A = this chain, B = another copy of it.
Amino acid sequence: FDKDLYEGNDVPGVVTGLAWTSVGGDILFIESSLSRGRGQLTLSGQLGDVMKESAMTALSYLKSHADGLGIDYRIFQHYDLHVHVPQGAVPKDGPSAGITMLTSMASMFTQRKIKPNTAMTGEITLRGKVLPVGGIKEKILAAKRAGIKDIIMCYKNRKDVEEVGEAYTTGLTFHYVDYVEEVLEIALLQEKVVNPLNFILPEEKKETPVSAPLGVVVV
């Protein structure tokens, strides 16, 4: 019953997703927070198993691509990440929030702002592919109603957008992507949020860099 509106990009880690529900499309917000801890992941908002796995996949992608995104890997070990999807009593499931969760986490770990008036929908895979999702028509209607201007989705969903009449898509810019990298390039601004978090990390222990182990026998 409660149709939400776009809410700005001042807070790090808050990203707008598009949801399909039995009573039509809606936007939803993925929220992330970091606090000093031991690398624990907490998920809340009555998320189903598929959506939980989606969050775990997003986090693994970020961890294994931390260097490229300029994220100090020690943050993963010395901070706890919490991802919440309001409203807390509404059960949610499915893989289509994959890129939204990943973008929320990436914004939180880099403290970079999200492109304003932007929403997204798409499944992610562990290697960073973006997969198409369903409910495109309803999601577009909901995005427009909520004040969204830019929508990011999988290139394979382009045909679903074209099936929706132009009347519904005027004023919306669609960004079609195949890889997670493209999502982050579009959605993560270079600009940091105001008062970005200063991470407190332990001194690093000495470690041995090891080249890829092909043919090397270590005892």
Contacts and interface: CB of A to CB of B under 8 A. Distances in A.
B125 A84 contact: yes
A202 B213 contact: no
Interface in A39-77: 39, 42, 44-46, 49-50, 53-54, 56-57, 60-61, 63-64, 66-67, 70-77
A201 B205 contact: no
A interface: dominant SS: mixed
A158 interface: no
Given A35-B66, A46-B49, A88-B54, A207 B202 contact: yes
A111 interface: yes
A115 to B, nearest CB: 15
A206 to B, nearest CB: 6
B87 A33 contact: no
Nearest to A88: B95
A216 interface: yes
A16 interface: no
Interface in A1-60: 2, 11, 13-14, 29, 31-37, 39, 42, 44-46, 49-50, 53-54, 56-57, 60
A170 B120 CA distance: 43
Interface string A115-145: 0000000010111010110000000000000
A205 to B, nearest CB: 7
A214 B112 contact: yes
Given A35-B60, A53-B44, A53-B45, A131 B206 contact: no
A197 interface: yes
Given A44-B56, A72-B218, A126 B212 contact: no
6 contacts: A34-B64, A42-B56, A44-B56, A63-B80, A72-B213, A201-B210
10 smallest beta-carbon distances between A and B, as pairs = A35-B63, A88-B95, A84-B126, A44-B53, A111-B212, A196-B212, A31-B126, A60-B82, A86-B125, A33-B64
